Amino acid sequence: MINLLIIDPHPVVRYGFKTFFSDYDYINVAHTAPTLKSVIDYIESNPVDIVISEMILNDESPIDLINRVKKIDPEINVIFFTTQDREIYSIPLVRTGAIGFLSKNVEASVMADAIKKIKSYKLYITNNFNNELNLDLDIDRLRNNYGILSSREIEVLKYLTEGKRNIEIAECLKINQKTVNTYKNRVMHKLKVSNMFDLYIQAKNLNLV
């Protein structure tokens, strides 16, 4: 039996997971919750094999989610179930410790198959409707311009393009404001821009905004 823990801010989505997997006797939706904070105690005291989480949560970034779950139990696998662009986020988050990515467009059978393969092979990524299992994925090879950015740099870039100030980004990511400025400077250097306008244009060209 594979024990799942679902994290999603929308009650309908959480209920939907239970409905999706009711026909699969090897999958048990053990617990669902709207935030990571609300499930920490459950993870610490109950068996969990896979955490399936929406990428955009109110209380944690994807990186923080991975780190907090892995700190409790390194053997727990983390899957992101999201509409966010896999081409932007998948490789940096796999480097951080995510094990899989599923589009919200996939059928229940595809999700069930992904969960089974993750338990067996430890990697599963879907791209739109074309689902692929690549056991030889080279996560260090650059696949696009975002490949040169770290997971945290991508997060900072996304907030910058939304018009957030350094102090606001620091609060969102729970890091020091000076650290945000360091990431900002690294991003601008890597993307070869010198001002915020060019940074926005570059991010738009790369389909982030």
Q: What is the pLDDT of residues 112-168, one digit of tens each?
A: 877 877 766 555 444 432 343 333 333 343 344 556 788 788 889 888 888 888 999
Residues 56, 8 contacting (CB under 8 angstroms): no
The structure tokens 């109950």 sit at 46
* Locus of tokens 């991975």: 66
Q: Same domain for 175 and 198?
A: yes
Nearest to 101 by CA among 67, 66, 74: 66
Domain identity same for 14 and 108:
yes
- Provide the pLDDT for residue 148: 73
Domain that holds residue 51: 2-132
Q: How many domains does the chain have?
A: 2
Specify if 139 maps to a domain: no
Q: Are residues 111 and 164 in the same domain?
A: no
Q: Report the pLDDT value the prediction gives residue 119, as an integer from 0 to 100.
A: 67
Axis-axis angle for helices 86-96, 151-161 (nearest 10): 140
Q: Is the domain of 122 the same as that of 156? A: no
Name the β-bridge partners of 80.
53, 101
**Spans of the chain below 70 pLDDT:** 59, 84-100, 119-147, 204-209
In this structure, are 115 and 67 located in the same domain?
A: yes
Q: Give, in degrees to the nearest 5, the angle at Cα 46 between 57 and 10.
A: 25
Q: What is the pLDDT of residue 90?
A: 59
3-state secondary structure of 6: strand
Contact present, 54 and 104 (Cβ < 8 Å)? no
Q: What is the pLDDT of residue 141?
A: 39
Q: Is the pTM of this model over 0.85?
A: no
Angle at alpha carbon of residue 152, lines to 52 and 85, rounded to 5°: 55
Same domain, 48 and 98: yes
